Amino acid sequence: MASGDRVRGDGRFSVRVFRLMPLDAFILVAVAALAHATWNLIAKRAAHSRHVIWFSSMAEAVLFLPVALWVIHGLSGVFLLATGFLHVLYFDALQQGYRVADLSVVYPLARGSGPLLAFLGAIVALGERPSARGYAGALMITLGVLLLAGFRRGANRAGLFWGLATGLTIACYTLTDGYSVKILLISPFLVEYAGCVFRLFGLSARGWRGRGNLRGEFLLYWRHAVAIAILLPAGYILVLFAMRIAPVSQVAPIREMSMLIAAFFGTRFLGEGYTASRIGGAVLIAGGVAALAAG
């Protein structure tokens, strides 16, 4: 439990006014941000594959099975089922968004609205109490991602819709998983693995319906799937460990350093353009991260 955390008399978890974010937690989130942005770039490049997340879930289930078996112990089944269900919704919304809009629209909007909702949810559901600087930092990050998302006349409304839908699922699974690792003390490895297994079974029906095209699609996208199978769980497990050290309402917004990397990827590798608004958004995100890290 992080410095400043406490359990109230009624058994609910709460947090005092934040102090400087622990350096180890910040490093975990920073590395996770790089991993997260990278697998999203790969997912965007494989957006026309209907089964790449299913392929990657199968690979992850195999790769991380030894670790899951090592850490498994008394389970809180309801929360593991909840996180699995929410992660299925997240991937469905994210991939749908990538089919209809740019990475630099869907990804920043999803990653901005989700942490803002998670920040507010941690205050209500987990009893966390950010400082005034924390509120300011979360607001700066939100405004920054709105600029990065490119809200302008003629913007793709379908992309905006799916970005917000993805953000809502992010907020829900962040709070669920934060409670699981911080209060119930479930292993972060097990939380991520439960999401993977649930996601695998949830997507298997779609895979079976499209089985006629599976072989050709797998041969085309298997490298994308393996890369996602490594980067996705690695990034999220690091975030879950950070949640054990620092408050959820600090970790969730700071995690959005990944949007700075994703904006660069979209410009550098996908030819999605580079504008003054994106520069302003990057500055706001960087300032918000600094404010939250300083507590």
Name the phi and psi angles at 7, rounded to 5.
-110, 125
Q: Give 80-134 pLDDT, tens digit per residue.
A: 888 888 988 888 888 888 888 876 678 777 877 888 899 999 999 888 888 888 8
Per-residue pLDDT at 13: 47
Is the predicted pLDDT of residue 269 greater than 80, yes or no?
no
In percent, the amount of the chain with pLDDT more than 70 equals 86
Query: Highest mean pLDDT range out of 66-80, 88-102, 220-234?
Result: 220-234
In a domain, 194, yes or no: yes
Report the chain's mean pLDDT, rounded to a whole number: 81
| pLDDT tier at 3, thresholds 50, 70, 90 | very low
Residue, of 210 and 189, whose pLDDT is higher: 189
CA 136 to chain centre: 21
Per-residue pLDDT at 14: 46
Per-residue tokens: 15: 């947090």
Nearest to 199 by CA among 85, 72, 65: 85
Burial of 62 (0-12, 13-18, 19+ CB in 10 A): exposed
Cβ neighbour number for residue 64 with a 10 Å cutoff = 21
Domain that holds residue 78: 19-294
In a domain, 36, yes or no: yes
In a domain, 85, yes or no: yes
Q: Give 54-66 pLDDT, tens digit per residue.
A: 889 899 989 888 8
Counts of helices then strands in the chain (DSSP H, E):
12, 2
Residue, of 224 and 263, whose pLDDT is higher: 224
E strand or H helix that includes residue 178: helix 157-182
In a domain, 4, yes or no: no
In a domain, 76, yes or no: yes
Cβ neighbour number for residue 82 with a 10 Å cutoff = 20
How many domains are contained in the chain?
1
In a domain, 118, yes or no: yes
Q: Mean pLDDT lowest for which of 19-28, 98-107, 266-275, 278-287?
A: 266-275
How far is it, in rounded angstroms, from Cα 159 to Cα 130?
Answer: 32
Q: What does pTM read for this prediction?
A: 0.76
In a domain, 11, yes or no: no
Cβ neighbour number for residue 219 with a 10 Å cutoff = 9
In percent, the amount of the chain with pLDDT more than 90 equals 21
Per-residue tokens: 63: 């790769």
In a domain, 1, yes or no: no
Per-residue pLDDT at 176: 93
